[in-house]
Amino acid sequence: MKGLIFTYLLTCGGSIGAFFNPFIGVLAYVCLALVSPTSMWHWAVTPHPYSRIVGIAMLIGWALHGFGRWDLNKAWGGAIALLGFFMWSVFSALSSFQQEVAWDFVIAMSKIVIPVIVGLTLIDSVSKLKQLAWVIMLSQGLVAFEMNLSYYAGFNRMQMGGFGGLDNNSMAIAAVSGFGLALFLGMGATKWWQRLLSWTCAILMGHSVMFSFSRGGMLALIISFALSFLLIPKRNPKHWIAWLAILLIGFRLAGPEVVGRFSTTFSETSERDGSAQSRLDLWEDNWDVMKRYPILGIGPDHWPLIAHEYGWPPLKEGHSLWLQTGAELGFPGLGFLLLFYLLNMKRLVKIIRDKKDEFDPWLCDAGRMVIVSLAGFLVSSQFVSLEGLEIPYYINMLGAGVLAVGYRASAVSPVNMPMQVGQDMPILKPQPA
């Protein structure tokens, strides 16, 4: 019953609110995409186009409010790369041999790309960035909470049941992507209950990665946590204490089965299990397709259609987002997708390293959470094919919003305002540490 009420309230509230403030529609759309109510509470929530209803209202509200702001500053590079990736998938679809499959991919990607672009043009304040970060974190945290409940009730839904069309590996990647966001959202919070809630979500996400038994997810979680150590701001020792506490809890939660599963990641060839070896063979075959079709690839979602030509079972996935994207969309398509993430990450690193004194402190915390989250995603997605996983796109929208809002404020700050003849030097208020 709770799931049904949640879904109806979110759909109705998001749709109505979008007409008055289209950003409400963006937040509701993101929440519905991540929580997936028809999968989360499949016994209570009947299948209906909830996201489509909110999405249409969002687009109408966006149009009524003038299509947002397009002065994206340093966020333009990532936005152009995302649009380039989408348009390249259209070009590839036009030349593909299975048109229905190709256009299904294009339509599915449009349901992600359009809301990201809409949301980016509507983010014009730190307040909206905070709202987006909390919605992403709480939505993914709710999924992790439900997976933990099921696990402790005796059924490992994360590994055995799947969620929203995702298998255990894909769910692990979603949880890893949310982990870094939750960790640094807690560090940037000003109230104790916000810190507690954020760090609890981080622990739930990290634990769900463990009992998913996804080796790629575990590796990415370790890398994300190690990277977070390097990015923790030095201004508050409480952050180091929280980081150490989460580390100790992680050691406590990682049982012998988790450790044993992860240790097989680095086994010698003679000791490697069939699953690990098959991934390496699939990557080699995808690389061969990339070399044979370097420009447009074989077509969106087409690797499973030709997998049997390489001796694999029909409809076998490539088990690597990057190599399968290259095989299906060619080197340009892969390049656009990588640039979408890497450009924003590079510019966020510049903010927290060179411009932290010029930007709102929360924007620097947001930069850290995006960098750690996307780093985990970039690593873990090497092991799974999942072009349609929504959370990394939304986290990168958050990162692009940080760039847009931060550089807008920097451009009009008193330091950068031109002086008029006879005008006194502006008095700068000290920024909080």
Please tell me whether residues 18 and 107 are part of one structural domain. no
At residue 316, the 3 state secondary structure works out as coil
Please tell me whether residues 77 and 29 are part of one structural domain. no
Domain end, chosen from 19, 49, 67, is at: 67
Q: Quote the pLDDT of residue 387.
A: 80
Average pLDDT for the chain: 86
The single-letter DSSP state of residue 312 is: P
Please tell me whether residues 272 and 368 are part of one structural domain. yes
Calpha distance 173→191 (Å, rounded): 29
Calpha distance 200→374 (Å, rounded): 20
In a domain, 416, yes or no: no
The pLDDT of 394-416, averaged and rounded, is 81
Cβ(398)–Cβ(129) under 8 Å? yes
Cβ(186)–Cβ(238) under 8 Å? no
Please tell me whether residues 167 and 37 are part of one structural domain. no
The pLDDT of 237-256, averaged and rounded, is 80
Q: What is the pTM of this model?
A: 0.89
Domain end, chosen from 67, 83, 116, is at: 67
In a domain, 431, yes or no: no
The pLDDT of 57-76, averaged and rounded, is 93
Please tell me whether residues 55 and 194 are part of one structural domain. no
Please tell me whether residues 48 and 83 are part of one structural domain. no
With bands split at pLDDT 50, 70 and 90, how would you rate the model's confidence at 423? very low
In a domain, 421, yes or no: no
The pLDDT of 225-236, averaged and rounded, is 82
Please tell me whether residues 36 and 164 are part of one structural domain. no
Please tell me whether residues 21 and 109 are part of one structural domain. no
In a domain, 51, yes or no: yes
Please tell me whether residues 271 and 355 are part of one structural domain. yes
In a domain, 415, yes or no: no
At residue 166, the 3 state secondary structure works out as strand
Q: Which of 184-198, 259-273, 326-340 is modeled with the greatest confidence? A: 326-340
Provide the domain count of the chain: 2
Q: Quote the pLDDT of residue 428.
A: 39
Please tell me whether residues 50 and 12 are part of one structural domain. yes
Cβ(303)–Cβ(318) under 8 Å? yes
Domain end, chosen from 48, 67, 86, is at: 67
In a domain, 425, yes or no: no
Q: Quote the pLDDT of residue 339.
A: 96
At residue 163, the 3 state secondary structure works out as strand
Please tell me whether residues 16 and 127 are part of one structural domain. no
Please tell me whether residues 144 and 61 are part of one structural domain. no
List of residues 6+ apart from 332 with CB closer than 8 A: 84, 88, 295
Residues of the domain holding 13: 1-67
Cβ(135)–Cβ(30) under 8 Å? yes
In a domain, 386, yes or no: yes
Calpha distance 273→260 (Å, rounded): 13
Helix (H) or strand (E) holding 322: helix 321-354
In a domain, 145, yes or no: yes
